[in-house]
Amino acid sequence: MDKTLIRARHWERTRRLTALLLLAWLATGFCAAFFARELAGLSVFGWPLSFYLAAQGASLVYLSILAVYAWRMRKLDRAAATQAAAAATATAAATAAAVSPPEPRT
């Protein structure tokens, strides 16, 4: 594979992951604020559910978003580095084979 193709595919996957996690972040922040009045009637451990989501739940979701991002990016970066190394090795081998003179026949 070409290095530019590897980089383009890596960047595409990175952007897709970032967009999905930003969408989850936006949905968490929006839903906690938008549905606060409806959720106030429900209670968790004696506290209104809206308070619980704003104080604890949203923070836990944000923390999990960060953890998923770090885990998945590490995996994507390692895969891209492995592919780039394989491409570099294949290119070097092809170049060495094309440049080296043929062995004399005996």
| Whether 68 contacts 21, CB under 8 Å | yes
In the predicted structure, residue 99 carries a pLDDT above the cut 90: no
Q: What integer pLDDT is reported at residue 57 of this predicted model?
A: 79
Helix axes 3-34, 58-99, angle to 10 degrees: 180
pLDDT at 12: 96
What would the pLDDT profile of 20-48 be if each residue is shown by its tens digit?
999 999 998 888 778 777 777 888 788 78
Residue 66 — pLDDT band, cuts 50, 70, 90? very high
Q: What is the dihedral of CA 64, 69, 75, 76, to 10 degrees?
A: 160
- Tokens 């959720």 correspond to 39
- The pLDDT of 55-68, averaged and rounded, is 89
Where does residue 47 fall: left (phi above 0), alpha (psi -120 to 50 degrees), or beta otherwise?
beta
The pLDDT mean for the chain works out to 85
Is 0.75 topped by the overall pTM? no
